[in-house]
Amino acid sequence: MYDIFIKTHFAGAHHLRNYPGDCENPHGHNWKVDVTVRATKLDECGMGIDFKVLKKVVKEVIDKLDHHDLNELPYFQEVNPSSEHISEFIFAQVKSLLSSDRYSLFSVTVMETDTQGLTYYGK
């Protein structure tokens, strides 16, 4: 098996509703995002997934978040735009755009800072 990943980032604002602290106030982050695809087979060129393809798909999803107030986006009307929910959003969106018998989306890592973040593996 091969785990193929790309790293990207986006800037955005949010606030956490009903949070008992400063994060309830509007603020922003420069989130770092890693997206990993797990390939079980290689194509005729010897690739699990072309980095170019993965970058294009991920960019399409990240562009929906970049430089937005996440609380105003439809997905985050019902759930807080926490890093956990952001990772779920990215995972679901990327997964819906990828299809192959050779690979599948494996995980999405979201980091609010260089020292804190989480990895979501899907449902």
- What are the CB-based long-range contacts (under 8 Å, 24+) for 94-101? 94/35, 94/57, 94/58, 94/61, 95/122, 97/57, 97/60, 97/61, 98/37, 98/49, 98/57, 100/49, 101/41
Active-site amino acid positions: 23, 67, 112
